Structure 1
């Protein structure tokens, strides 16, 4: 299969194949219903009964990532203050599917789309506390267990800005002049080329599709840990700009701890960069709901306190 977009699959896992793989290796689950519940960039997710979710890599890059999840996630239990999927079943490669796959505890909730500013602000302290604790995990221990260091080269702001300008060229014909100008003006204001290194363990991919909320709009889960890496905390702190409204940022940073200006620069860049990618994918898939969520995420990220 030839991939023209970063979200395109190298292969797909059908529901019958997933059922065969899961039930053959874990026959104790064979009486449970199974259904496809999600298809991310890296993995396809199937819910098994009410208790479990299994993820199967669908891109080459995800094959090693899911193995590292299986190793490190159990070590994070004492560091995570928001529910997350815990690996329970470790699927082995076989002739039908030559890659490892994982079964986790199921975390209930829905994606945080269409929330009010008040609902978002209500999770500011919970998110800050979660990240503060996660970022205390020993980075050396993470590296010893196969976690990569800054695999996306986040410190190179000039390169990141260049990518975003390319994204904007792709988006420009699909979005309003107001949104296009807002992003272009923001990119024009970024004058730093590189930031100083910092090392913490990162979730690495915090955005609307990897966060869950409960029925009243409070954060109830953080999912998809495939981008676990050691790097600059600004990558995760993007949620202060992407998820939270401007008036909640002060309480977020008060709970997390004060950060320097370079960290805030990177956090805001990632708060725009990630939804630009999601916006392009949504346009490619004709997903108007995600496209609108990405647009509003960027608007929040660019808004001043």
Structure 2
């Protein structure tokens, strides 16, 4: 049911497991006998696992509907550009009177979040991540625009505005974090040049961080999930993964495979590699999700390391 919301992440529409099972079973009879269980929810979607093979995403907020429809159109077209398993929509569902929004079903990508990996394990994925982004960023921007993909509304390339927001995050984090971590982040922000970055448009995943990656039992990257923030913008937004995920000694191999990135791009990529985990860290502290909070912290410290 719809209700008024107070937090950014509050739901306007909740989908119970019974409602999800009914919608899936009535529209996709081949799945009707599969067990349905709730997996997780983000700000925009509630996720259900269906049997062993599929996951379905149901929007929780009206604002998520346009991006879900866009995913349904564009993600199948990425197959020619990227080799890595990803959330390719297979089932396109429509809502009913009780739940009036569309929903999508995807193959279930097995694996775990990359939490607590060693630097050696992380370094082994440098080539996989670089090859993935090289292919993704080669997807034609014109085709993305024709399918309704928008420019990056977050304006991530405005470094001065980003620093100001991050200083606000830091003051919220201060009561909860070690003084040395606070000083490391504050010192980094103080030293950053604030000039605007030259615009450069590529097709982006848009939210590439550890909670949107799955790894196999050896720690190798095995899939990329949650494409709800696809947009057209600066490649640094996705290249941030080279700083948040990879230890410093693995970055040269990453850029050797991906291709050269100028100093400005690298600077912005590092900044976003601190920015996104700060958001995750704040929410994890509020949710008392200690393992996620610690992983976000280690992502930031890795991004700050040379």
TM-score, with structure 1 as normaliser: 0.97
2:51 alignment partner, one of 49, 52, 69: 49
Q: Distance in 1 between matches of 2:9 and 2:278?
A: 13
Contact 1:65 1:226 in 2 (8 A): yes
Structure 1 residue 7: Cα displacement: 3.2
Listed one character per residue, the Cα deviations across residues 109-132 of structure 1 (whole Å, up to 9, x for unaligned) are 111000000000000011001100
Structure 1 residue 9: Cα displacement: 2.8
Contact 1:74 1:87 in 2 (8 A): yes
Question: Counterpart in 2 of 1:232?
Answer: 234
2:152 alignment partner, one of 146, 150, 153: 150
Listed one character per residue, the Cα deviations across residues 1-57 of structure 1 (whole Å, up to 9, x for unaligned) are 555543333332221121111112112211101111121222111111111110011
1:33 alignment partner, one of 32, 35, 44: 35
Indicate whether 1:132 and 2:138 are aligned: no
Question: Counterpart in 1 of 2:190?
Answer: 188
Structure 1 residue 93: Cα displacement: 2.3
Structure 1 residue 58: Cα displacement: 1.3
Structure 1 residue 208: Cα displacement: 1.1
Kindly tell me the number of residue pairs found equivalent between the two proteins: 304
Question: Counterpart in 1 of 2:17?
Answer: 15
TM-score, with structure 2 as normaliser: 0.97
Question: Counterpart in 1 of 2:251?
Answer: 249
Structure 1 residue 98: Cα displacement: 1.2
SS at structure 1 position matched to 2:175? coil
Structure 1 stretches of 4+ moved >3 Å: 1-8
SS at structure 2 position matched to 1:188? helix
CA separation of 1:168 and 1:112: change in aligned 2, threshold 3 A:
same
**Root-mean-square deviation over aligned CA pairs:** 1.2
CA separation of 1:43 and 1:232: change in aligned 2, threshold 3 A:
same
Contact 2:23 2:95 in 1 (8 A): no
Contact 1:70 1:87 in 2 (8 A): yes
Shifted more, 295-304 versus 52-61: the winner is 52-61
Shifted more, 131-140 versus 21-30: the winner is 21-30
CA separation of 1:292 and 1:2: change in aligned 2, threshold 3 A:
farther
Question: Counterpart in 1 of 2:61?
Answer: 59
Contact 1:7 1:281 in 2 (8 A): no
Q: Distance in 1 between matches of 2:102 and 2:38?
A: 18
Indicate whether 1:102 and 2:94 are aligned: no
CA separation of 1:299 and 1:4: change in aligned 2, threshold 3 A:
farther
Question: Counterpart in 1 of 2:276?
Answer: 274
Listed one character per residue, the Cα deviations across residues 255-277 of structure 1 (whole Å, up to 9, x for unaligned) are 11110111111111110111100
Listed one character per residue, the Cα deviations across residues 195-215 of structure 1 (whole Å, up to 9, x for unaligned) are 110011000001111000001
- Map 1:163-178 onto structure 2 (within 5 A): 163-178=165-180
Q: Distance in 2 between matches of 1:247 and 1:290?
A: 24
Question: Counterpart in 2 of 1:260?
Answer: 262
1:197 alignment partner, one of 170, 178, 199: 199
CA separation of 1:9 and 1:131: change in aligned 2, threshold 3 A:
same
Unaligned runs of 5+ in 1: none
Q: Distance in 1 between matches of 2:240 and 2:13?
A: 31
